Amino acid sequence: MKLLLAAILFLIPGITAAQWKIVDDSPAQNPKVPLIHEKKLVSKAGDSGFFASRRIDLIWFHADKHTFRVIDNGPIDHPNFPTLASAMRKNHCLAGVNGGFFLKDHSPSGLMVSGGSSIGKFGHGGLLSGVVLSSGNRNPYVLRRAEYGPAYKPTDLIQAGPFLVDQGKTVTGLSPRNSRRRSFVLHDGGKWFALGLSDAFTLAELGQILAQAEISPQRKIHRALNLDGGTSSGLFLDRGERVEPIHIEPFKTVRNFIGIVER
């Protein structure tokens, strides 16, 4: 009987989502900065105390004015940039995060296109199920692997995965293990895209949270794609003159970054 009840609760929409409390703690926006920064404090319902909340940052941009740039950081013994912040500044990015997965020899896992140059090959598997790209005419996209084709003519592209949210719903089968810091890419299904960074969550938890309307009421999340997490995760946001940037550096050298640039 207990097993049956547990199964029923798992299948009812909203039961798992209801365990999360989301509080908006977004700072006042600098009108000179064209990106929208949302800061959320997330806790399990009923938890209290200073350490109960975990932070999620979302950096939104509009596709008519900005797009993605993939920055190749080169081989591990001679990286092109010492930090995420330096990579963003030298490539004129207003914000950015770490990119996709990479192999032990530091080559990208799956296909990477940076500045029109391709490295690696188009791969398969759960960690390569999504494609983030900027096309030849500078339009940004977050696609499923099966949706992508050469007709997009990417100037910038990485493969990553798994999807956390698709069609506005949490993707089934996400792992409930290994809580860690995570970076990700969002799309509202229209013209708005975002880069994000979270404190430590499992993939299943983050998928539940990002599917809730409260996480970003003005721009409902249609798709969320996981990037390389844990010690690879970092975020940079230039908040304009006289304001310190948001700067959370990855703990290890990563192969690539995803930035937000003007079109």
pLDDT number for residue 147: 97
Q: Between residues 202 and 15, which one has the greater pLDDT?
A: 202
Residue pLDDT, tens place only, 130-163 = 999 999 778 999 999 999 998 999 999 999 999 9
pTM of the shown model: 0.91
Cβ 226 vs Cβ 161: under 8 Å: yes
pLDDT number for residue 198: 98
Four-residue CA torsion sign, 168, 182, 204, 102 = positive
| pLDDT of 8 above 50 | no
pLDDT number for residue 15: 44
Could you state, in order of their start, the residue ranges of all structural domains in the chain?
Answer: 21-262
pLDDT number for residue 228: 97
Average pLDDT over residues 54-72: 97
pLDDT number for residue 9: 42
pLDDT number for residue 199: 97
| pLDDT of 93 above 80 | yes
What's the CA gap between 80 and 128, in Å, rounded? Answer: 24
The mean of the pLDDT values for the chain is: 91
Residue pLDDT, tens place only, 28-48 = 887 778 999 999 999 987 777
Find the range with the poorest average confidence among 9-23, 103-117, 119-133, 246-260: 9-23
**What would the DSSP string read from start to end of 15-72?**
TTGGGEEEEE-PPPPPTT--SEEEEEEEEETT--SGGG-EEEEEEEEETTTEEEEEEE
pLDDT number for residue 14: 44
Q: What is the distance in angstroms between the CA of the first residue and the CA of the last residue of the chain?
A: 58
What's the CA gap between 167 and 245, in Å, rounded? Answer: 33
pLDDT band (50, 70, 90) for residue 18: low
Q: How far is CA 143 from the centre of its chain?
A: 13
What's the CA gap between 129 and 242, in Å, rounded? Answer: 40
Average pLDDT over residues 93-111: 95
